[in-house]
Structure 1
Amino acid sequence: MKNLTTSKLIKLAHFCLCAFLVINFYSCSRTSDDYTTSNLETEALLEGDLTLATSCQYTIVPEFNNVIFPSRSYTWSAEPSNLVDFTVDPLTFAITIQTLAEGTVTLNLNSDDGQVSSSTQVVIDDENDGILKILAIGNSFSEDALESHFWGLANAQGKQVIIGNMYIGGANLDTHATNASSDSNSYSYRKIDLDGTRTVTSGVSISEAVADENWDYISFQQASYESGLFETFINPLPIVYNAVRSHNSNPCTKYILHKTWAYAQNSTHSGFANYNNDQMTMFNGIIDAYILAENLIPVEMVVPAGTAIQNARTSFLGDGFTSDGYHLNDFGKYIASCTWYETLFGESVIGNSYSPDGMLPLYIELAQQAAHEAVLTPNEITELTDYQDPGGNGILTQPVFINFSTSDNPDGWNAYTGFLEGVAIPNMIYTNGQFTGIEAATTSRFRGVNNTSGAGSTTTDLNMDDSVSKSNFYSHALAWGSNDPIEESIIEFSGFESNDTYEFCFFASRNSVSDNRDTKYTLVGANEQSANLDAANNATNTVCISNVQADANGKIILKVAAGDSNNNGNQFYYINALRISPQ
């Protein structure tokens, strides 16, 4: 398949220059009688015989002698005519065929004056095995979008898929261009097979991955920090495309672009400075860059994952779709996968029965709607007006459980999926999925999250799954390497609508340590109370603070800090789980 868009631009530039020179030359030195048939093309060259699969789209570009653009008019025909549909470019007379059924078809190109003719044969085989195969050449953003939930969405609808992801963390198009040109074996090749099994193979080159399957789609994307800067696409994207195409024996592969998402407004990623640390500046830049990038290579479609995330941000959930300000949390990954599903299969994702563990039905509905609207209107934000207020009266009548984790979340728990300032649970739920009307929002960040460092098989009255007890948010009261100290991390609970009192119970755990990791929890509402818990190797203990009452504004502030007994060199402190109960 030829790069029609690029070749047209080059030819048009050459044509304009040549036309300028020719016009001036002939106007000065020749008469119209001097222009003869020697300036007309006398031959049209076509590709040799081809073998294509059914349901394949393929473009053949004739090459004419003596001219840049053909001077004669031409007509294409297909014999028999029922095996293909086709369209013709009126400038280059390139023919784009869509194969319909098995058989052999002869494509004929004839000039309308009868002076030039050419033909080629296309053998159409029914190689459609019913399996959609997608290879992404990307980084952690393609990982977020494809590796967690896309297979599940397809499987729920009885569709068979194979997913490949050529992964290098943070890789931009320049990196991919360099690797593609040298065929470097520097990729981690993540593959999800028909049964959903995921394997990871190190040291794989692009040529090896391209040859591994008869890919229906191969996608490209720019790294997130350059995704809204079109100038960063211009040189490397065609290089990557041409290298991939040279290794690809399947002429029916369709090439697509993955339009990524803007960072959360609270993101601390250094690349956010490219957009003045402003989410909407970044989003609009991404929209504009990908519109222009479509003209650099033959693009079948653009997957508007970034638009879907921005749509979801108009809901009551606000900006809560990333774990660290730029990578997606599990809910964000589900939205991105819904967008891929609807784009590739060409059918609405709304109503898809795939339900990730611990994800509320309302959240699933919201995600599918955000993705659907993004596919319908990929370059504009659609406000999700039906998802503004999920309810709740601000009076707790049952216990509420919070899981401090950016990965797995069990049913009935509230997932606190980000550790930066501004991250929130906009409306906490009871274990039955009903909303409370109470919000939890971080006003002073934690340093990070560790999803595997806590204890498993705990014995406390919180009855935690291992996924809860193993994960913690942590900070350090003293400097840690190049990281400045965080003396306390703060969460604000708001929306309490009564003078009732509550009990807050905390669990913290950090395994495989030999020092004291005493953590102090302070609650400030109508009054102030504190309690301490040593997180070191803890699998059995919790600490509770009773008779907690909101202040006059309906707020309770939680401060997490290092306790007086903490003798760790950096004074690390932790929170894994929290239960809030009415008294």
Structure 2
Amino acid sequence: MKRTKKIFLVVLLLVSQFCFGQDQDKAIRLLVIGNSFSGNATAYLPNLAKERHKQLVIGKAEVGGCSLQQHWEYAEAAEANPDDPKGKPYNGKSLRMLLLEGPWDVVTIQQYSYLSADLDSYSPYAEKLYNYIKALQPKTRIILHQNWAYRSDAKKFGRVAAKQLAKNQTEMWQKSRAAYHAVAKQLNLDIIPVGDAFNRVASGTEYVYKKDPAFDDENAVYPNLPDQVNSLNMGYYWKDKKLVFDPNHANEAGRYLGSLVWYAFLFKESPEKIQYVPDNVPAGFAAYLRQTAAKTVQF
């Protein structure tokens, strides 16, 4: 009897380990509906997942500068005429086609950054997209991806209401955050808080970005650039010997932070153990960004 009981326990343990391992190895299938900001925020997500031996499949429905309204209008065009190229902006595919490539475990949506702080811009398109996704993928989990505010030295900030722009980075973040949370409450959705993580850095002290007062962008001479240490945004750079200023999109550090937040949210695991660091992100800053992501995402 003792021998039989011992064999039974060993078999039970092996079966449990096998089943647990199978569940752990199950791939998360993720479809991202967004624009360049979602592309920025997930840029290094595959690298992080690979390092931590996580299985991840990512589908993309991204168009630069695309709002919730535009995504919905593309879907409407495809429904009205499946052959209409206007309804297939995602590398020749419609949203219906991409959704039916599922099943998808997670589908994310987001607002265009310029409109993110304007709650009225979400209606009725967030709900229409939600219902459309659920009709085609009823078991999927729909999540909001929260954008970040533009860098503190941006020439202008996102819209908070019709014909009214945010006065600064803080107001853009506050109004954007409020809008995302209002939509999340309406549709009962969770939020990937990338915008909150960016704000933690922007409102901190140790690694906060500060505008270089000595740099005169109107009289800049190639290849001179301002001190942009600790920036999460592209900022100033030269392209074909012409000075470009992009205070909106994420640079390597911002993409890293966004990807860390996505990783922590999707896999319910602290990103502080991650060793991968993109080029041009200093080790100390990278460690701070990992800590920031861990503090921002609540399991």
Q: TM-score, normalising length from structure 1?
A: 0.38
Which of 280, 293, 297 is the aligned partner of 1:371? 293
RMSD over aligned Cα atoms: 2.1
Question: Counterpart of 2:153?
Answer: 266
Contact in 2 for aligned 1:275/1:281 (Cα 8 Å): no
CA distance in 2 between partners of 1:128 and 1:158 (Å): 10
Aligned: 1:283 with 2:185: no
Aligned: 1:231 with 2:120: yes
- The amino acid of 1:370's aligned partner reads T
Map 1:431-470 → 2, pairs under 5 A: none
CA distance in 2 between partners of 1:270 and 1:355 (Å): 30
Q: Looking at secondary structure, tell me which structure has more helix per residue.
A: 2
Map 1:493-508 → 2, pairs under 5 A: none
Which of 245, 257, 264 is the aligned partner of 2:144? 257
**Which has the greater radius of gyration?**
1
CA distance in 1 between partners of 2:57 and 2:292 (Å): 25
SS in 2 for 1:354: coil
Contact in 1 for aligned 2:145/2:192 (Cα 8 Å): yes
Question: Counterpart of 1:172?
Answer: 67
- The amino acid of 1:352's aligned partner reads I
Which of 130, 142, 157 is the aligned partner of 2:52? 157
Q: Which moved more, 1:341-350 or 1:275-284?
A: 275-284
Which of 222, 233, 241 is the aligned partner of 1:322? 233
Unaligned 5+ residue runs, structure 2?
1-21, 79-85, 210-230, 235-245
CA 1:172–1:130: 2 relative to 1, 3 Å: same
How far apart are residue 129 of structure 1 and its match?
A: 6.6
CA distance in 2 between partners of 1:347 and 1:218 (Å): 20
CA distance in 1 between partners of 2:63 and 2:250 (Å): 17
Question: Counterpart of 1:307?
Answer: 196
Q: Deviations over 1:37-56 (max 9, x none)?
A: xxxxxxxxxxxxxxxxxxxx
CA 1:177–1:342: 2 relative to 1, 3 Å: same
CA distance in 1 between partners of 2:135 and 2:156 (Å): 36
- The amino acid of 2:207's aligned partner reads L
How far apart are residue 270 of structure 1 and its match?
A: 6.5
Which of 262, 271, 292 is the aligned partner of 1:340? 262
Contact in 1 for aligned 2:76/2:87 (Cα 8 Å): no
How far apart are residue 346 of structure 1 and its match?
A: 1.0
CA 1:154–1:129: 2 relative to 1, 3 Å: closer
SS in 1 for 2:272: coil
Question: Counterpart of 2:217?
Answer: none
Q: Deviations over 1:208-252 (max 9, x none)?
A: 11112321100010110111111111211111111222222xx32
CA distance in 2 between partners of 1:374 and 1:130 (Å): 26
CA 1:128–1:169: 2 relative to 1, 3 Å: same
Contact in 2 for aligned 1:265/1:277 (Cα 8 Å): no
Q: Deviations over 1:128-150 (max 9, x none)?
A: 9700111111100101011x200
Contact in 1 for aligned 2:272/2:290 (Cα 8 Å): yes
Contact in 2 for aligned 1:152/1:354 (Cα 8 Å): yes
Contact in 1 for aligned 2:157/2:169 (Cα 8 Å): no
Q: Looking at secondary structure, tell me which structure has more strand per residue.
A: 1
Q: Deviations over 1:471-530 (max 9, x none)?
A: xxxxxxxxxxxxxxxxxxxxxxxxxxxxxxxxxxxxxxxxxxxxxxxxxxxxxxxxxxxx
CA distance in 1 between partners of 2:196 and 2:158 (Å): 19
CA distance in 1 between partners of 2:293 and 2:273 (Å): 12
- The amino acid of 1:311's aligned partner reads R
Q: How many residues align?
A: 235
SS in 2 for 1:325: strand
SS in 1 for 2:56: strand
SS in 2 for 1:283: helix
Aligned: 1:247 with 2:136: yes
Which of 261, 272, 293 is the aligned partner of 2:183? 293
CA distance in 1 between partners of 2:151 and 2:23 (Å): 44
Aligned: 1:353 with 2:275: yes
- The amino acid of 2:26's aligned partner reads G
Question: Counterpart of 1:204?
Answer: 93
Q: Deviations over 1:58-89 (max 9, x none)?
A: xxxxxxxxxxxxxxxxxxxxxxxxxxxxxxxx
CA distance in 2 between partners of 1:309 and 1:222 (Å): 17
SS in 2 for 1:371: helix
Q: Percent identity?
A: 28
- The amino acid of 1:239's aligned partner reads K
How far apart are residue 127 of structure 1 and its match?
A: 9.5
Which of 8, 26, 31 is the aligned partner of 1:135? 31
CA distance in 2 between partners of 1:267 and 1:217 (Å): 33
Q: TM-score, normalising length from structure 2?
A: 0.73
Higher relative contact order (CA 8 A, sep 6+): 2
Q: Which moved more, 1:163-172 or 1:311-320?
A: 311-320
How far apart are residue 296 of structure 1 and its match?
A: 3.0
